[in-house]
Amino acid sequence: MFEALIKVGGSICNTQSLKVLAPQWAALAARRPLLFVAGGGLFADQVRALDDHLSLGDDAAHWMAIAAMEQNGYLLGEFMPGIRLISDLGFRIETNAELGIRSAESIPHSALHILHSLPSSAVLLPYSLLREVDPLPHSWDVTSDSLAAWLAGNVGARRLVLLKDVPGVYADGEGDGEVQAELSRSQLAGYDAVDPYFTRALPPGMETWILSGFHPERLARLLDTGETEGTRITPER
């Protein structure tokens, strides 16, 4: 089982810093089972621009944006020595028809079942998996953050970590000043640190953190001690 699903923001993937950061993440992954997934970044921005220009349908925009995540997955893997790129997690995927479900949004978090042992650490190329199970609505309200939340629940990760180009969720919501050390799921909905669908995609009880991806020592501290500098998203009390 994966100790954490780590979503690397596209805004980090598409910078020169990736060449320095990715090997440090790979070193962490050599010591513990971690699953990485990349955000869409510049590739997804191009999809948004095309959508604005050509009025793409929701389905086309959705799958093009997931393909953007896949492209950044290849980029991420390029700079993580020893990491595997995978698209098959060893799951049997129960289709909507098998589950008797008409809406893809209704697929429960138990819809995927592990068949065999997973690699110790890997970068997930998510297009094929998500294309087959199609778990979330096709909307710009659903971004790679929500997809990472849904994946974390389905691979049985102990925690979800969102690595972003900010140190956490700012108290003023404007990107300045103090960073919130802790927020509840309902409080998070009042900030734009994640997409609007995120709290619905996040499995109940999932330990979740928003950290700066530009400080890999903070991720290392979290994995070693369970605490670090950033914003922890807590379940509702």
* The two three-digit tokens of residue 200, written as one number: 């619905």
Taking residues 104-130, what's their average pLDDT? 63
Fold of 4-234: Carbamate kinase (3.40.1160)
- For CA atoms 110, 116, 118, 124, the dihedral sign is negative
Place of tokens 């309902």: 186
- pLDDT computed for residue 152 by the predictor: 94
Q: Rounded distance, CA 113 to CA 93, Å?
A: 7
More confident of the two residues 74 and 120: 74
The per-residue pLDDT for range 128-174, each reduced to its tens digit, is: 999 988 989 999 999 999 999 999 998 889 999 999 999 999 987 66
Per-residue pLDDT, 190: 80
Question: What is the tens place of the pLDDT at every residue in 198-221?
Answer: 999 999 899 999 999 999 999 999
pLDDT by residue (tens digit) across 45-57? Answer: 999 999 999 989 9
Q: In the chain, where does DSSP find H-type helix?
A: 10-13, 18-29, 41-54, 58-78, 96-99, 127-133, 144-154, 185-188, 198-201, 216-225
| pLDDT above 80 for 191 | yes
pLDDT, position 118: 53
Q: Where are the chain's structural domains? A: 4-234
pTM for the structure as a whole: 0.88
